[in-house]
Structures are given as structure tokens and as C-alpha cells.
Amino acid sequence: MAWRFKASKYKNSCPKFPKKEDWITDISTGRLLQSFGNHIKANAFYMVFNVDNLGGGALGILPLNSTGRQGPDLPLLSAHSDYVADFDFSPFDDNLLITGSHDCTVKLWQLPSSSKNLKNSLNLNSQIVCTEERKIENVLWNPAAEGILAVSSAESVRIYDVSSCKKSLSLDEHSDMVQGIAWKGDGSMLATTCKDKLIRTLDPRAQTACQELKGHAGQKESRVSWLGNKDMLFSTGFDSVRQRQLFLWDLKNPSSPVCTHSMDTSPGVFIPFFDDRTNMLFLVGKGDNTLRFLEYTDRTPHITDVAADRTEQIKGAAVVPKQALDVMKGEINRLILLIKNAIIPTPYIVPRKSYREYHADIFPEVPNGQPSMQASEWLAGENKPLELMDLNPSKRAPLTLRAHNLNAPGSNSITNASDSVDPSKEKKLLKCDSSAENEKKSTADLSIENNKESTINSCTENKSKPANDLSENNKELTVNSTENNKESTVNSSTENSKVKGPLTPKSQRRASETIMQKIDSLNAAIELSHSPPPQRKFQKGNCVLDSKKYEEKDNDVFSDNKVAEDAKTEHSQQTRKSCNSMEETKNSLSEEVRETKDSENENSMKNDDEATPSNSSCTEDNSTETDGKASKIEAECNSKKDEKECLSETPKVPNGAIENKICKGKVKEETPEKTVPAKKSVSTPSRFINIRQLKFKHLKATTLNKEHHIENLKNLSRNIPGESDLFQVNQKRCAVPLSTTGGCVAIFELNKPCRLPDCGIPSLQHGTNVTDFVWDPFNDQRLVVACDDAKIRVWNIPEGGLKDSVNEPEFMLIGHQEKIYFVRFHPLAKDILASASYDMTVKIWDLTTQEAVIELKGHTSQIFTLDWSPCGKKCATVCKDGKIRVYEPRVSTEAIKEGTGPSGSRGARVVWTLNGKFLVATGFDKMSQRKLFLYDAQELGAPLDIVELDSSPAILVPHYDEDSSTLFVTGRGDGTIFTYEVTHEAPHLNQLSPCRFSNLHQAISFLPKIACDVSQVEFAHAWRLLLTHIEPVSFKVPRVKSNFFQDDLFPDTRVLWEPALSGSDWLSGVDAEASRISLKPGNMESLSKAPTPSTKQKKYDSTDPEIFKTDEMKKKELIGAMTSKLDVREDPLEQDLTEGVDSDEWEE
């Protein structure tokens, strides 16, 4: 056990903070955006850091030994058009800097060879390494192989060979955003941290994930670092209660961390720096003012706290390479701390009595800065150790700037941003891109036959599009040519397509003119082929024309369906035989033109424009005539009722469309498409086939008089999250959030409308921001408020309302670890409350015991909303991951059904309809259009109905009235309430009259059904929250006999303002249905029982039964009178008197 008492060489190391005059001050780092980078990096000669110039797209560059005030003379590198997220110095070339930005590009920069060349505005040589589809988050060089770079973007990690400008490897093992990457000391392995809370070790050359470790439970960023060449990892992150953690992992036992070191609850992300030569570990928290120094040992407890030193608030940090340390002063490590508008170099000194001599016992050997292998060797699977060097100044060469230049690529590898590029040499510039541009250049010598095959294959893919797209564009190709012409054309084009050696500019021009003439002649032939199918033909010159079609009138084109069908069949057979050869010829010629144009110089390109195609007069006449006839055929197709007849005709293809619109190969048969729900516009709903009688079609919203308004409302809070409804009312009072400090919620009595005072409004004070609130549906005096401190406060409003402000709730519910999204009461059971939080869990509380009794799991992202089913057994949620989940909390904490919901990430809502048969979700599509989606609650498959509204950014908040099956939807800042009637038959969402108001509202909240005045045919009653006042709104249906109770509009309603069962009974598995009552007032008669009005007898009736005739009798008399007036002619007809010829004469 003697090792326990063995003193560490470095335990007394301490930071030596310099005086303020030795700081680097007056640099513009005041506001830096959040990123996964460290904001500052250093090598043995330079330091580079983020600045807030140019929107974060610039970097500051200074020599490592800089001190003092910089001001406007700070050298700036305008690196990117967007924020620079991460950057890194090459470990083997002090001149090379790699940068990754939110503009989706990675650039390589060549720094000046001397710090004296640093100027205020740098114009350095640069090179684009790659361009990704998403923002770049991390860039990191391989510590052993030269030119190997790791780049992380969104969920992927790519490995680039920068020396040869080529993407080598791709790692797509992550399910969420990659937050940090780290190379192993020997460069063989890669470790990543991800937003899905997993730590992965990857073998890049095998492109596989070796191990997955269950990382930190918190939602914030985590980091990872290797322990040199050991199979061990450090990781930093947060636990579920926001406490910062440090984990030590042994990859031989990845099930759990070897050591867990818990810190404080500061929100700063820990950046770990581990020195594998001295086992010193530094933890620097972003936003912290403490610099932590820890030591690692091979034995328990593995991690030991050594010191924690206070300094300025830190924005970022970097470690200086060992070669740049002043070893003759005992400097064992040096950190560079980036603070607000300054940089503090912080050396760690090992105290010794004298520094006259070199202390070899505290300075182990370190890598000498030379790569152990080249990129090609590393990609081939080799692993070589790095060469080491002694830091003794007497045994090593003086420190000089290293410039390896990545295996000395060509002179075009890094281009000067200030140099003008010659257009003729622009293609020779080296540009690394993930799209493999170099591979395209290397295959430029392929034969034209291969190019023809690839073109035909690509066209075959285009041809596989749905047939209705082809019919919409009216592009059906037919070719009327003989077999001899086809064969001769194909043979000639094939011979001409062969390239025999390099062409001179003159021969190139001739070849281009010849090919262009052939293409134009083919265009004319294909245009000519789009005439209607031939029936009776005659020949004019070399052209075969269809005389019958050209001679008939337009209204006779579709006169004989049978002939048209026969002609269409014959014509389509000819098309299938001839279209292939003509189009292949066209493809080969197009490829020749493309190859020829690439090899021509500027003069030959100018001469190409002078080439004109030679078309015969017969072709021109026929094409003009065909244009006219084709337009007439299109007009008739549009006027026909039968769409199949219209599709059978072959309209003309426009001139020049052959390049992009031609269909190559045989015509594919139409395949049925998947059924997609039709999108309906709000303004023009399509309800033409089966017109459904909607009782609430003409509903009308009326704002009550000002005497019922609550006016002079001030300081309305508009910062409540979108998951909240913002405004809640019950039968007695309403709750409104205020923007004053302390998270205040004002309570107003609805039966006391008035003009509010300018100040001093009594309110509920929470001391923190309010996120959501809701009234207890069974207790008009209880209000539940959710706050961003993860607590739920339950308030009891005294009878008569608030007299003074209150800051002590009745009790609080504590159990969530993160800010709460929303709270929802159970519709039937008393004291049952559901809440959702940023910790991606839904908790169900029993307010009688004040405890969370059920916790629903399975959400992978932000929870937008929750709604209880009408029966109270299930609940549905919509998540940011685009999923709708249905839970049965008493049966399982996992979702029993899951389906695809709205795809937008801006917010969504869900509501049960038609007694739980359907789910209606409101949300956004990918184009930010607001939409309604109706799903079958039993299957959660594709939406049964989709209604598109508008492009407003406000989240649609739905309210469903189950008695009338009416859905009300509106959003914050809207001036319209959209209404729909939900039905069992398709289309399920039937638009009703929208309710438009003269001013915009912030929210709307509905009262229970018992609050409606049914004597005025009021089926819904709500209150609108505006910026300055609150007003009631009545929704009515116009009726003729309004003095009767409209029992067809008002069925027996469920009593949802009284509990159907207790919370304990519901939790024990008991189910109960809400009782129903009739809304019929006692002094009104039902419309169904209203007496039918009797026919009133005429006072004077002059009808004579003897002469009275019915309508049928009158009709028969009229027909008989008209028949009697017709003349019966017995004279011979005129043709009977005409003398004809014998039949024998016809034979002659």
C-alpha cells in the first residue's frame, strides 16, 4: 500500500496568472455564438480565436507570444460567410489552419511563414476542402497520419484525405447530432459524443462503431477525450438534475464508467484537456470563472482533485504544444484562456528551488512533431507509433516553423484569394468536394458508347415517373418513319459518334456543325411524328401526311370512337418500334455535341452559334400544319367529358424540348400510385359530388356589447411558450399572464366587467417565469400553474376573486428535472393532472397525495401537446420528432400506438374527435404551411384527410365541441377562427363559415356547454383575449323558429364540469362515463314536438266539382289537340317520282 503515500510530481503545480499588462487585451470577443468548438486554438507559433466581427465569420490571429492592447490593429481573417464553429492547427505543419463554419464549408488556410507578415486585414491562401449539406460542427486533424481530417456535420462524421483532396470515409452510425469528436493518441480510433446521450468509439477505416457507451443523462452538450494511447476515455456532461459530471471509461468494461466524479450545477460545458505524458487533467467550463486541475492515476480512486483557481469568466480555452513551453522555468503546461475582450496566457509551473538546470524528472519525452505515417499508409490500415523527442534545450534543435505542405502537392493545391484566376486555368485548380469531382475528371476518357448507355439509363429512370405527370405535360412521342430511314440514321450516327484521336479546332467546328444539323433534322422528324394517327394517307414529296385528319373539321375529330381507338392502337405499336432507335440516335448525337463543346476553345465556341440547320420545305410546311392541328386537338381534349379519350390523343411536343423532355426506351405501362389524401383549400373546398347538409354551415360569431368587456388590460405577457394556450377561463373567472417581473398571473371575475386600473392589479406571483396554466374543470377556484423552475404550483382562488397579490400557493408538485411544457387535467377523474417537461417525460399526478403516480416514456424530442381521450382511458401526444403517440397510462408507460404526425418542427396540437374515433392534429408542413391532419385513432397510419390553411407562423390551437362535432382552430395574432364539422364519412373535415373579426386576438378560450344560451340558439360561448381587453363571443346558428328548443342541434350533453369518478378509483382501474343532461329550458317546447301548421281553408272557394280537371287530365287534352292538328299526307314523295338508272349501268 506504499503507492498510496507516493507523492505526485505535479500535485504542487499551480497556474501563474500574468499581470494585466501581459494580457492580450482589446479584442472583439464580446458576444460569441453557441457552438461545439473551443473558440480558441494554438500551436507553437500562432493562436487563433473567434471574434464577433462579420457575424462570427472572421477569426483573430496573433503570434503566440503576443501581449498588450491590440485594438483596431488586430489581424483578422475573413474566413467564412457565416459563424466559424470550429478550427484546428495541423499537428505537423505550423502554417496550416483548418476551419469549419455554419455556411457548410471546410477551408484550409496557409498562414504566413513569419509573424511579421500578420496585418490588420489578412488575405491568405485558402482551399475549400469540402462542402456538406448541413452546418459544420467539428474539425480535427489526425494526431499520427499527415493530412487525415475528421469533420462532423449533423448526424455524420466524414474522414477526408486533405493531401489528395478526396473524401475517404463516411461514418453514419449516429441517430442525432454529433456534439464532440476525439482521436485516439495513435490515430487509429475515433470517439464521439452525440445528442442521443451515447458515446461511441469508431473504427474509421472499417467504417463501423466498435462500442456504444451510455453517456450522461442531461440534455446539454457533452465532450469526450482519450487517455493518450490507452483504451480509456474521459467524458464530461450533465446528469438529469443538471449537475456536471466527469466519467472515466475503460473500454474493456463499457457497461458502466470506472469512475464518476460529480461537480457543481453550473450551466457551463466542461472542456477536458488531458496530458497523457504527465496525467494532468484540466477542466475548463464555458462561462465559468474557475480553472480546475485534476490528476489521473491507474488505481482507485483514479481521479483526484488537485486545485481550483479563480480567474475571469472564461469563454474558451486551448493548450499550447509542449515544444513551445519554457522548460527552463519549470513550465509543465500552458493554457490560453479566452475571456471577454481579452486573452490570458496561463502557464502551470512545477515549483523547484532552482531553475538553472533542466529538470528531466518532470519533463517526459513528447512527440517530435513529425507524422508517423502518410495518409495513404493510414488508409491502408497501418498503425505506427510517433517518434519522441527530449525537451532538454541542449539535446534538441531550436524551435523553427515546420512546413510540410501535406506531401508537397502541386502548386494549385492552395490558391491565393487575392490572385485573379485565368479562365483557361480555372479547371486546373484543386477543389476538394464530397461529390467526387476528381473522379469525374479521371473518367473523362471513357468512350461515347458508355456515355450513351448511362444517358439511356438515366432517361429510363425519368420515364418511370407516374403516367399522370406525362399526361399533364402532354408529352407523348410518336415517330412516323420507315424502317430503312431508321436503320440508316442509327448507323450513320453511330459511325459519326466514334472518336478517332484528338480533333483540331477546324475539324471540331465541322463536326459540331454536322452534329447540330443531324439533331435539328431529328427534331423536325419527331415533331412531325406527333400528328394524329394515320387513317388515309397520301404522299407529297418525301413526307407521308394524314389527309383525313387534315381535311376534317375540328368537331368531327372524336366522332367515331371505334376508329379512333383502332388508330390509336396501331399508332402506339409503331411508336414503340421506332421511338427507341430515333431517341438513341439523338442521345449519341447529344453526347457528341457535349464532348465536342468541352474540347473547343473560345473561338470555336463562337463559330458554333453560326451553324444553322438545313430543313426541307416539306418538313417546314408539315410542322406548321401539325402545330395548328395539334392545338385544335388539345382544345377538343379539354372540352371532352371522358378524360380517357383526351389522354389517347397525342399532342405536339414543343420545339427544343427533345433535350430534356424526351422519353427514352419503350413506353412503360401505367402503374397505380399510392393513395394520397387530397389537399383542400380553405377558400374553395371541393364538395361537388355528394353534397352533405351541414346544420352548422352558416354559424355566426357575435361579439357581445362593451358593457360585458374587461378593458384597459396592460402588460399582457406575449413570451409564454407556444405549448401553452396563453389564456384560460371557467364559468366564474379568467386567468391572464402579465409581463411584469416575477411571473405574475392576473385573475379577473367574469361577472364584474369593468375598466381595469392602470396599475395595482392583484395577481399570483410565482418568482419565476410561467410556462403554462389551467383551471381545474371540477373546481372553479383551483388554478394550476407550471413554471420554468420545474415546479407546478397549485393555487386556491378565494370566493369573490383576489383582493391583493399572493405569492404563496396552496402546495407545489416537485418531480420534473427540467422546465415544464404544459399541464392538462383529466376530463373525468378528479385531481388527476398530466404534465410534460423538457426531460422528455410525461408525469401523471394525484393532487390528493401530491405525488407523481405514473411516468410516460418513449419521447425522443420536445413534446408539443397532450390531449386526453373522451373516455379518459388514453392520451395522445405530438412530439418534435414528427410522431404521434397514443398511451394508455394505467396499462403501460410506453406508447401503445405510434404514427407519423405533422412534419414541421415549429409546433403542433392534437385533439380527439367523434368520441375518440379520430385524432385531428394541427401543425406545419415542410414549407411552413399551416395544415389540419385527420388520423384514424386505431391505426395512426397515413392521414385520412388534410386541409391546408395559410402560411401564418402562429400555432393553430384547436377546440372541439363534441355535441355539434364542430372544430374551432385559431392562432395567436389571428383575426379569424376557422371552423370545421368532423364527420365519419369522407371528406371528414367539412368547412363551415369562418368567423372573422375586425381586430386580432392573442388567444380564445371556450366555456362549458352549460354556459350557452340555448334559447338564442347559442351552441358555443367563448372569451377572446386581445392586447388591451377581454371580450365574450357567442356562436349561434340562424333558425326560423328560434322560439323553440332546437333539439336537433342540442343533444343531451355530457356533464364535464362535475367529476365522474375520483382519482383513486381511476388509478385503481375503474372506468366511468360522464352523466348526460338535457339543455332544454323548462319554458320551451322542442322543435320536434312543435305543432305542424294546418292548411288554411279559403274563405271563398269557387271550384266546381263537375268541371274540375286535374293536371294529368289537362295534359292529355293538350296532347290530343296537338295531334289532331297534324296533317295526314297521302301524296307520293318526290324521290318516288324520280326516274333512276338500272343497276346494270353501274357495273359498266
- The tens digit of pLDDT for each residue in 167-201 reads 788 898 899 999 999 999 999 999 999 999 999 99
Give the DSSP H/E element, type plus range, for residue 1005. strand 1003-1006
Residues 46 and 142 in one domain: yes
pLDDT at 1120: 86
User: What does the pLDDT look like over 1024-1033, one tens digit per residue?
Assistant: 999 999 999 9
How crowded is the C-beta side of 453, counted as CA atoms within 13 Å?
A: 4
For residue 645, give the C-alpha cell.
379519350
User: What does the pLDDT look like over 965-987, one tens digit per residue?
Assistant: 999 999 999 999 999 999 999 88
Helix runs in 1051-1139, H state only: 1063-1067, 1111-1124, 1134-1137
Mean pLDDT to the nearest integer, 219-244 = 93
* Maximum mean pLDDT: which of 63-72, 511-520, 781-790: 781-790
For 439, phi and psi rounded to 5 degrees? -70, -35
What is the number of structural domains in the chain?
A: 3
Helices (H) and strands (E) in the chain — how many of each?
16, 68
1037/1106: higher pLDDT:
1037
Of the candidates 1001, 1023, 1054, which is a domain's last residue?
1054
Classify residue 392: in a domain, yes or no: no
User: Which residues have CB under 8 Å from 693's CB, separation 6+?
Assistant: none
pLDDT at 31: 73
Cα dihedral angle (524, 527, 533, 536), rounded to 10 degrees?
Answer: -30
For residue 6, give the C-alpha cell.
507516493
User: What does the pLDDT look like over 333-350, one tens digit per residue?
Assistant: 999 999 988 999 999 999
User: What does the pLDDT look like over 642-676, one tens digit per residue?
Assistant: 443 333 333 333 333 333 333 333 333 334 444 44
Residues 654 and 729 in one domain: no
Of 101-105, 263-267, 402-406, give the lowest mean pLDDT range: 402-406
Residue 611 and residue 513 in contact, taking contact as beta carbons nearer than 8 Å: yes
Does the pLDDT at position 139 exceed 90?
yes
Classify residue 194: in a domain, yes or no: yes
Does the pLDDT at position 3 exceed 70?
no
* Cα dist from 809 to 573, 671, 784, 795, whole Å: 84, 65, 10, 5
**DSSP string over 849-867:** TTEEEEEE----S-EEEEE
951: pLDDT confidence band, cut at 50, 70 and 90? confident
Helix runs in 1032-1110, H state only: 1063-1067
Question: Which residue type, as a one-letter code, is found at position 523?
Answer: N
Beta bridge partners of 63: 46
pLDDT at 515: 52
CA distance 405 to 413: 9
For residue 1100, give the C-alpha cell.
271563398
pLDDT at 33: 80
For residue 1125, give the C-alpha cell.
292538328
Residues 790 and 937 in one domain: yes
CA distance 148 to 380: 13
CATH code for position 370: 2.130.10.10
Residue 629 and residue 537 in contact, taking contact as beta carbons nearer than 8 Å: no
Does the pLDDT at position 405 exceed 50?
yes
Mean pLDDT to the nearest integer, 362-391 = 93
User: Which residues have CB under 8 Å from 835's CB, separation 6+?
Assistant: 786, 792, 813, 816, 820, 821, 822, 823, 824, 842, 843, 845
pLDDT at 1145: 73
Classify residue 428: in a domain, yes or no: no
Residue 283 and residue 271 in contact, taking contact as beta carbons nearer than 8 Å: yes
Classify residue 1092: in a domain, yes or no: no
Question: Which residue type, as a one-letter code, is found at position 335?
Answer: L
Residues 95 and 244 in one domain: yes
pLDDT at 231: 94
514: pLDDT confidence band, cut at 50, 70 and 90? low
Mean pLDDT to the nearest integer, 207-236 = 93
Closest CA to 729 of 932, 1024, 378, 961: 1024
Of the candidates 985, 1020, 1054, which is a domain's last residue?
1054
Of 243-252, 271-280, 427-436, 1067-1076, give the lowest mean pLDDT range: 427-436
1095: pLDDT confidence band, cut at 50, 70 and 90? low
Q: Helix, strand, coil shares of the chain as percentages rounded to 5?
A: 20, 30, 50
pLDDT at 508: 47
Mean pLDDT to the nearest integer, 514-543 = 45
User: Which residues have CB under 8 Å from 736's CB, separation 6+?
Assistant: 713, 716, 727, 745, 746, 748, 1025, 1030
* Cα dist from 769 to 218, 808, 862, whole Å: 22, 15, 19
For residue 8, give the C-alpha cell.
505526485
Residue 834 and residue 818 in contact, taking contact as beta carbons nearer than 8 Å: no
Residues 603 and 723 in one domain: no
Residues 707 and 656 in one domain: no
* Residue burial 471-492, b: 16+ Cβ < 10 Å; e: rest: beebbbbbbbbeeeebeebbee
Classify residue 394: in a domain, yes or no: no
Classify residue 22: in a domain, yes or no: yes
856/1126: higher pLDDT:
856
Residues 638 and 716 in one domain: no
Classify residue 405: in a domain, yes or no: no
CA 698 to chain centre: 38
pLDDT at 546: 42
Does the pLDDT at position 590 exceed 80?
no
404/942: higher pLDDT:
942
User: What does the pLDDT look like over 92-111, one tens digit per residue?
Assistant: 998 899 999 998 999 999 98
426/697: higher pLDDT:
697
Residues 655 and 518 in one domain: yes
449: pLDDT confidence band, cut at 50, 70 and 90? very low
pLDDT at 296: 94
Closest CA to 448 of 582, 614, 599, 575: 599
**What is the DSSP code (8-state) at residue 104?**
S
CA 522 to chain centre: 45
User: What does the pLDDT look like over 591-634, one tens digit per residue?
Assistant: 444 444 444 444 444 344 433 333 333 333 444 444 444 444 44
pLDDT at 837: 94
Classify residue 1141: in a domain, yes or no: no
Residues 599 and 744 in one domain: no
Mean pLDDT to the nearest integer, 733-758 = 92
Whole-number mean pLDDT of the chain?
Answer: 78
593/393: higher pLDDT:
393
Percent of the chain with pLDDT over 70: 72
For 792, phi and psi rounded to 5 degrees? -115, 120
905/590: higher pLDDT:
905
Range of the domain at 589: 448-661
Residues 194 and 305 in one domain: yes
pLDDT at 1025: 96
Residues 372 and 459 in one domain: no
Residues 608 and 466 in one domain: yes
Question: Which residue type, as a one-letter code, is found at position 513?
Answer: E
1096: pLDDT confidence band, cut at 50, 70 and 90? low
Residue 786 and residue 770 in contact, taking contact as beta carbons nearer than 8 Å: yes
Does the pLDDT at position 748 exceed 80?
yes
Mean pLDDT to the nearest integer, 1062-1085 = 93
User: What does the pLDDT look like over 464-501, one tens digit per residue?
Assistant: 333 334 333 333 333 333 344 434 433 433 334 333 34
pLDDT at 501: 40
Does the pLDDT at position 445 exceed 70?
no
Of the candidates 1054, 1074, 1095, which is a domain's last residue?
1054
